[in-house]
Structure 1
Amino acid sequence: MAINRNELERLAAKLLDGTITSEEQEQLNHWINTQLPKDNSNAPLFKQIDLARKKRDMLKNILMKIEEDDQPVKTKRGQLYRFLKYSAAVAVILFIGFISQQNLFMPKQAERIAIHNIIELEADTVFSGGNSPTLTLGDGQVIQLSGKQAGIIQKNGHLTYTNGESAVNLQAGLDANVNAMLTLSTGAGGTYQLILPDGSKVWLNAKSTIRFPSKFSAHERKVYITGEAFFEVVKNTNQPFRVNSKDYQVEVLGTSFNMSSYNNDKEDHTTLLEGLVRIKSEPQQAKTAVLLRPGEQASISAERVAKRAVDVSPFVAWKEGLFYFDGASPQTAMKQLARWYDLDVSFSGNLSNISFFGMIDRKKSLGSIIRILEKSGVKFRLQQIDGRKVLKVISD
Structure 2
Amino acid sequence: MKDKTIPARLIYRKIEGRLSAVEEERFETWLKEGREHREYYERMRSMYQQENIQEVAIGKIQDAWEMFEKRVQGRLRMKRKRYWMWGVSVAASVVVVFCLIIYYHSDTGQDVNIAVQNIVPGQYNAILEMADGATYHLGGHQGSLQEKTGRQIKIDTSLVSYLPVDDKQETPKEIVYNKLSIPRGGEYRIELEDGTKIWMNSESRLRYPVAFFNDTREVYLEGEAYFEVQRDANRPFIVHAGEQKVTVLGTSFGISCYASEVNDYTTLVSGKVKVDFERGKQSFVLEPGMQVAYDKKSGIATERKVDVAEFVAWKNGKYVFKQKRLEDILSTLSRWYDFEVFYQNEDVKESLFSGELRRFDDFNYLLRLIERTSDVKFIIDKKVVRVMK
TM-score class, shorter? 0.5 to 0.7
Give the match for residue 194 of structure 2. Answer: 198
User: In 1, are the aligned partners of 2:327 and 2:350 still within 8 Å (CA)?
Assistant: no
> 1:274, 1:375 → 2: CA distance?
37
CA distance in 2, matches of 1:126, 1:351: 22
Within 5 Å, which residues of 2 pair with 1:249-264? 249-264=245-260
Question: Please, which runs of 5 or more residues in structure 2 have no aligned partner?
Answer: 1-56, 62-114
Q: CA deviation at 1:147?
A: 3.2
Contact 1:192/1:205 (<8 A) preserved:
yes
Gaps of 5+ in 1: 1-118
The equivalent residue for 1:268 is 264
Give distance in 2, aligned partners of 1:233 and 1:348. Answer: 44
Could you tell me how far 1:282 is from its partner in structure 2?
Answer: 1.5
Q: Which residue does 1:381 correspond to in 2?
A: 379
Q: CA deviation at 1:243?
A: 0.1
Secondary structure in structure 1 of the residue aligned to 2:369? helix
Give CA-to-partner distance per residue, 1:318-356, whole Å, 9 cap, x none: 111112111110111011111011111122222265212
Which residue of structure 1 lines up, in the alignment, with residue 385 of structure 2?
391
Give the percent of matched residue pairs that are identical in Structure 1 and Structure 2.
31
Report if aligned partners of 2:218, 2:237 keep a CA contact under 8 Å in 1.
yes
For 1:128, the aligned partner's letter is P
Q: CA deviation at 1:189?
A: 2.2
Supply the distance in 2 between the matched residues of 1:165 and 1:334 (Cα, whole angstroms): 27
Structure 2 CA distance for aligned equivalents of residues 257 and 152 of structure 1: 29
Task: Please give the alpha-carbon distance, in whole angstroms, between the structure 2 residues aligned to 1:198 and 1:223.
Answer: 12
Give the corresponding residue for 1:292.
286
Greater C-alpha radius of gyration: 1
Q: Decide whether aligned partners of structure 1 residues 133 and 353 sit closer, same or farther in structure 2, where only a CA change above 3 A counts.
A: closer
Is 1:315 aligned to 2:311, yes or no?
A: yes
For residues 3-82 of structure 1, what are the structure 2 equivalents within 5 Å?
Answer: none
Q: Normalized against structure 1, the TM-score is what?
A: 0.62
Q: CA RMSD in A?
A: 3.4
**Within the alignment, does 1:230 sit opposite 2:223 as a pair?**
no
SS at match of 2:247: strand
SS for the counterpart of 1:192 is strand
Q: Which amino acid aligns with 1:158?
A: Q
Paired amino acid for 2:119: V
Per the normalisation by structure 2, the TM-score is 0.63
Q: 2:40 corresponds to which residue?
A: none
Relative distance call for 1:214 and 1:382 in structure 2 (3 A) is same
Runs of 4+ in 1 over 3 A off after TM superposition: 119-125, 147-156, 162-169, 173-178
Q: Which stretch has the larger CA shift, 124-133 or 134-143? A: 124-133
Question: Is 2:361 the partner of 1:364?
Answer: yes
Change (3 A) 1:178 1:263: same
| 2:238 is the counterpart of 1:242 | yes
Match of 1:212 in 2: 208
Describe the SS at the equivalent of 2:124. coil
Letter in 1 for 2:362: S
Evaluate the alpha carbon distance shift between residue 343 and residue 151 of structure 1 in structure 2; reply closer, same or farther with a 3 A threshold.
Answer: farther
Residue of structure 1 equivalent to 2:134: 141
Higher relative contact order (CA 8 A, sep 6+): 2
Indicate which of 114, 121, 124 corresponds to 1:131. 124
Contact 1:177 1:215 in 2 (8 A): no
Shift of 1:256: 0.4
Higher helix residue share: 1
Question: Which amino acid in 1 is paired with 2:121?
Answer: S
The equivalent residue for 1:186 is 182
* Whole-angstrom CA distance in 2 between matches of 1:343 and 1:306: 32
- The 3-state SS of whatever aligns with 1:315 is helix
Partner of residue 348, structure 1 = 344
**How many angstroms apart in 1 are the aligned matches of 2:340 and 2:171?**
39
